[in-house]
Amino acid sequence: MPMDLFDRVLRPLRRRPLTGRYPDEPAVLPATVHGLPEVDPSRCDATGDCVTACPTRAITLMPGSWTVDAGRCVFCAACALACPQDAIRLGSRFELAGRSREALRVSTPVGGPR
Amino acid sequence: MTSPSPLPVPESEEDPAMVLPREIDRRLRRSLHVRHLDAGSCNGCDWEIAALLNPYHDLQRLGIDFVASPRHADLLLVTGVMTRNLEEAAIRTYEAMPEPRLVVAVGACAISGGVFAGSYAARDGIDDVLPVDVYVPGCPPRPEAIIEGLLVAVGRMAGSGKRSAN
């Protein structure tokens, strides 16, 4: 096994740097990342089940718009589980830094109750 | 009396002698010394902040480092709900910082109280006590999201993962 031993000794020298390049390159995300909840407007019936399910009251439902406050959301997916239409998904959006509280609120236009 | 230079004054835009100093300035300016303050967090955010210094995220490659005292810091990185017991300490920490100073709130608790909102023992977020410049949502935020928040605070990123023009 002398060649195998030689290979083992040299292996660390061939290894490339581990350090990520963010923000010059986009972040490499594991498949299990939970980003901000996103609603599919074509499926949303505006039942309001997501609003009552949210433990931090991050979701507000107004006539015509569905708003999630990223500053309150804890990415628990209770809204997605509560939705009878299966309209909510936790997306991959995680770069949410904002300079004001208002900048953290993300609205999606949705239709009213059918 | 000083006589004017016989050589024409170089235009700073085209002068090749200025290329290297400008490049050095571009790469090194807006480096940042950060003081981390735990104002009653569950330690989730603090672990993500600790991860910034690991070999993968290596925050020092961006000219950002953590310091042991607010007196050495440009930016206060606050996690947690701002418990009653930490209010006085947080104010004193902020007042110990030299100006100009920045405050970044990390995590849902520091922004709005998160799952602890409405508690008798804590504020609903730190902005009742400290003037927050940038909010970093997440529970906890990913290390990349905290890097983004720090770079947004100094104008090196524009938000939503995008770089600033310069």
- As a whole number of Å, the CA-based R_g of chain B is 20
pLDDT of residue B28: 64
pLDDT tens across B11-47, in order? 555 677 777 776 776 666 678 999 999 999 999 999 9
Residues 132-161 of B with CB under 8 A from A: 133-139, 141-142, 144-145, 147-149, 151-152, 157, 159-161
Which of A23, A74, A100 shows the shortest C-beta gap to B163?
A23
The reply to whether A63 falls in a domain is yes
Contact A101 B57 (CB under 8 A): no
As a whole number of angstroms, the distance between CA B129 and CA B42 comes to 19
Residues 75-104 of B with CB under 8 A from A: none
The tens place of each residue's pLDDT in chain B, 166 residues long, gives 556 655 555 555 567 777 777 677 666 667 899 999 999 999 999 999 999 999 999 999 998 999 999 999 999 999 999 999 999 999 999 999 998 899 999 999 999 999 999 999 999 999 999 999 999 999 999 999 999 999 999 888 888 777 776 5
The reply to whether A104 falls in a domain is yes
Question: Does ipTM come in above 0.90?
Answer: no
Q: Give B116's contacts in chain A (Cβ within 8 Å).
A: none
The reply to whether A51 falls in a domain is yes
DSSP state of B142: P
Tell me the CA distances in angstroms from A28 to A20, A45, B64, B93, B136, one per residue in order. 8, 34, 21, 35, 19
Contact A97 B111 (CB under 8 A): no
Question: Which CATH fold topology does B32-158 show?
Answer: Rossmann fold (3.40.50)
Residues 53-92 of A with CB under 8 A from B: 55-57, 69-76
Domain extent, residue A109, equals 40-114
Which of A19, A36, A69 shows the shortest C-beta gap to B61?
A19
B19 φ, ψ to 5°?
Answer: -65, -50
Contact A74 B144 (CB under 8 A): no
B90 φ, ψ to 5°?
Answer: -65, -40
Instruction: Name the residue ranges covered by the structural domains of chain B.
Output: 32-158
Residue found under tokens 């997916």: A77
b/e map of A76-110 (b: 16 or more CB within 10 Å)? bebbbebbeeebbbbeeebbbbbeebeebbbeeeb
Q: Does B55 touch chain A (CB under 8 A)?
A: yes
For residue A54, what is the domain's CATH number? 3.30.70.3270
pLDDT of residue A87: 92
- Number of structural domains found in chain A: 1
The reply to whether A19 falls in a domain is no
DSSP state of A36: -
A vs B: CB pairs below 8 A: 103
3-state DSSP assignment of residue B59 = helix
pLDDT of residue B8: 56
pLDDT of residue A67: 94
Q: To the nearest whole angstrom, how far is the Cα of B106 from the nearest Cα of chain A? A: 9
Please count the other Cβ atoms lying within 10 Å of the Cβ belonging to residue B63.
15
The reply to whether A13 falls in a domain is no
As a whole number of angstroms, the distance between CA A42 and CA A86 comes to 11
Q: Give B112's contacts in chain A (Cβ within 8 Å).
A: 56, 69, 71-72, 101
Q: Which two tokens mark B24?
A: 């050095």
The burial class, CB within 10 Å (0-12 / 13-18 / 19+), for B144 is: buried
